[in-house]
Amino acid sequence: CGTMTVSGLAFTAGTFPYSITTTGPGCTPITVTGTVVVNASTSLTVTSAPGTANPTVCVNTAMVDIVFAVGGSPSSVTASGLPAGITGTLVGSTFTISGTPTATGSFNYTVIASGGGCPQVQYSGGIAVDPDVQLASSPSSNNQTLCTNSPLGNIVYTLGPSITGATATNLPPGVTGTYNPGQFLISNTPTTAGVYNYSVTTSGGSCGPATVNGTITVNPGPTLTLDVPGTEIQTLCEATPITNITYTVGGSATSAGATGLPTGVTEVFSGGTLTLSGAPTQTGVFNYTIFTTGSPCGTINLTGTITVDQIPQLNLGSALGSDTLQACLNTPIDTVIFVLAGTATNITAINLPPGINSNTQGDSIYIFGSPTSLGTFPYTVYTSGGTCLADTVYGEISVSDAPIINIASAPGSDSQVLCSGVPIDTILYIISGAATNAFAVGLPAGVTAVFSNDSLIISGTPSVSAISNYAVVASGGFCPNDTLLGGIYIISPELNLSSPLGTDAQQVCVNTAIDPIVYVMTGIAVTISAIDLPPGVAAITSTSNDTITITGTPNVAGTYNYTVYTSGSPCLDDTIYGSITVGLAPVLTLTSAVGTDNQSLCNGNGLDAIVYTISGGADTAVVIGLPAGITGSFSGGDLTISGTLTGAVTSNYTVIASGGGCPNDTLFGTITVSSPTIDLVSPVGSNIQQWCIGSPIDPIIYVFANGATGATALNLAPGLTAIVQNDSLIITGTLTTLGVFPFIAHTTGSPCTADSSYGVITVDAGVSLTLISTIGSDAQIVYEDSTIITILYLLNGASGANVTGLPAGVNAIVVGDTVIISGSPANPGLYNYAVAGTGALCPVDTAFGSIEVLLYVPPPIDTLDLLVPNLFSPNADGHNDLWEILNLDQYTLSSVLIINREGQVVFEDPDYKNTWDGTNNGDPLPEATYYYVLKVNNGDKVLKGAVSILRNEK
């Protein structure tokens, strides 16, 4: 029979019984009953005089009651944020805020009515409790501590608009108090130390005279005096005590210290005096500083200078030990350098050997030259001049002769030519001078040198062919050795391998070039020859450099032991041997059917056997790079590849035949295994997407491979398409239909089993907002503290709503699928609000509206001909840019005072001519409500009220 739903909004309070009866063919009528109880909506309405809800009162003065009418049946009405002394009381359906405030300041209060089955309602307002005088500078500015002659931080008090004067008592000398309308300023510089408890007392004022107190503490500064002028600047030698320097410390300073003193000089503070004393152990110019401590008024610094001269000291500036030299006669010495540290005017050297001189440059003395006399010469270097003691150092220069060697055997005996195995003619050398020994280097094997009794004898029989350039050296003393040169030349021919080691014993393949074999001859011969070389290999002789080179390509297999020899020498000839082994290369042949070495099949299939046969010099064969499941075996000269594929991969394999000492023979093949795959390559999770209808999806990309030539997609959501680009399947599009759409992507074009991948696309609906309250309720104009017409919006597709831009006192709640906006705005102004659904995936509808709150201003008493605007819009659009009071020109002198909620004066004009443009000293004031005092006819009539600045309005 179907279903029936009872729903809607209740606009009338009461108890409503209802019944529902079913009808329809084939159905027995059934009646059900129920009751809907609708409670009256909770409300708060200000019923006291307009303006009483946001009063400005004096401290300790009874406030005019703020009275609210309470609608509905709330179980509780409470007020929070009230100043001390003010309370809220509920009697029946009336809630009253009353009392006498005992604390000053601005208090934002809230009244909340809740319970009774309906949404709570709240009202927000403000109570300003005016002391008529307030500290406007920093909270600690009325209790300052400073030093004499230091500027006081300005102490500023804000005065109520009705205060006509203010005076200050007991200020420090030099500090003044100045009254200006709305402000009292304490400033300038104190000149006398002391503690000053001051008072500021007002006169006039709506709340009577008021007094505020503070304290200004003025501290004296520190003092520092040098007791004996001139002692602060001293010059002396190191380790010499200074003349004591004393300073007297006074004023507010409690101690003193020093920085920059030389080591050895110390400071002692006692009984108000700082004393510097001691013997400096550090040289240099020390600019020291004396400073006071302990004063709250900073420090005083005095300076001085202690110059400490270093005692002259001569230091060796050349190499360590160079001051004690061993020199050779008539040979330049290494320069000896002494460097002066400290103060002196001259450096002198005496007792130097003949031929040695000294030269002073700056703070260094240089000793140099060539000694011309033998002997040992102690010398002295000393300083002179300066303020401190002189320094002296000593050195020594020993002068010696050089060693000498001469040949004493027959002329030409130091340059001999002979065959190996023939004794040389004896060679004799005699030493003299400072020489004490002699020896020879570079002699050929079999020849030796013997030193005895100032003679060196060279003799013996050379055992190898060589050209030996030798040297005879005489040594002794500390002067350079003496050297004579000679030569012994052996001309017997000798063959030696000069190509790389091992080239004389090679193993190559037939028809393969050998590495060149090179022999070099030393000594003298007419020819060099080679015999027994392999066919295709020859020997090339070069007489210019005495070499023979064996090179070529052997063309007959075998082992060839060859001989190389010299001939035609006046001495015995030489012979040398080698070998060249020529082998056959290995051969590898595919003997299974043509094409078996390049097979393509599906995973899990058996391979057609592939057979390779070896020949030539080969003795074995192996295979590498086979796919999983395939193996190779060698037997009887054949390598057989067989098996069943267990993996999906293309394998390029290699077969190698080896043996015979020649390079391997190699053949290649390919086994291609197909197993189609399709893989998601767009971001992880892109195959599972959730979108709103009308939205484009993120592209879903698959890559197909391993034998697959294409791919396709099935069961895609309406609006989506799949295309193939190269090796990719791309799914894109814009969703057009609500629902959940599982899809599948799979490979095509391969004879092997296709691969598949899955995904799902979910398509959701959007969110909407519909105004269901009275037409026009979303654009209301009401007075402050008046209840607005309830505004209702119906939500569809969202779990909640966010409402922004409402005036204070107006609130929004969500009940089921309905947004309810209600309350009483507290502050004048234009409020453009927005309602947006929340908690939904898809785009949210936003509804807009406005609530314009007008300030209620009662007609002025005795000035009904004056019309004072309660708002204006200074935004330079040519409309309502000035605060213009109608009929003001009918009165004589009119003064205006404008203050903000904090009691600060933002505009003042003793003769107002409708010129205020909403600025304070040229700076635009923020949008807010301000309070005015208008005095006309020289104060004969006084009007007070509020005016709001709304810059976005006309």
String of DSSP letters for 594-612: TTTTEEEEETTPBPPPEEE
Q: Which residues on neighbouring strands pair with residue 871, listed in sequence order?
A: 948
Q: What is the CA radius of gyration of the chain?
A: 60
Q: In what order do the strands lie in the sheet containing 700-705?
A: 677-680, 700-705, 728-733, 720-725
CB 296 within 8 A of CB 146: no
| Spatial distance between the Cα atoms of 734 and 698, rounded to a whole number of angstroms | 10
Q: What are phi and psi of 641, to 5 degrees?
A: -110, 125
Residues 6+ apart with CB under 8 A from 802: 835, 836, 838
| Spatial distance between the Cα atoms of 434 and 327, rounded to a whole number of angstroms | 13
Say what the pLDDT of residue 9 is. Answer: 60
Say what the pLDDT of residue 861 is. Answer: 38
Cβ-based neighbour number of residue 453 at 10 Å: 5
| Spatial distance between the Cα atoms of 702 and 683, rounded to a whole number of angstroms | 11
CB 268 within 8 A of CB 277: yes
**Look-up of token digits 């005279």:** 209
- Distance, C-alpha 166 to centroid of its chain: 58
CB 580 within 8 A of CB 548: no
Say what the pLDDT of residue 862 is. Answer: 47
Which region, left, alpha or beta, applies to residue 890 given φ > 0 means left and ψ of -120 to 50 means alpha? Answer: alpha
Say what the pLDDT of residue 102 is. Answer: 83
Say what the pLDDT of residue 15 is. Answer: 78
| Spatial distance between the Cα atoms of 493 and 566, rounded to a whole number of angstroms | 7
Say what the pLDDT of residue 939 is. Answer: 63
- Distance, C-alpha 584 to centroid of its chain: 70
- Distance, C-alpha 433 to centroid of its chain: 77
Say what the pLDDT of residue 606 is. Answer: 87
Q: Which of the 8 DSSP states describes residue 855?
A: P
Say what the pLDDT of residue 7 is. Answer: 66
Say what the pLDDT of residue 8 is. Answer: 65
Burial category of 655 from C-beta neighbours within 10 Å (exposed 0-12, middle 13-18, buried 19 and up): buried
Low-confidence stretches of the chain (pLDDT < 70) are 1-3, 5-13, 25-27, 131, 648, 856-865, 938-939, 952-954
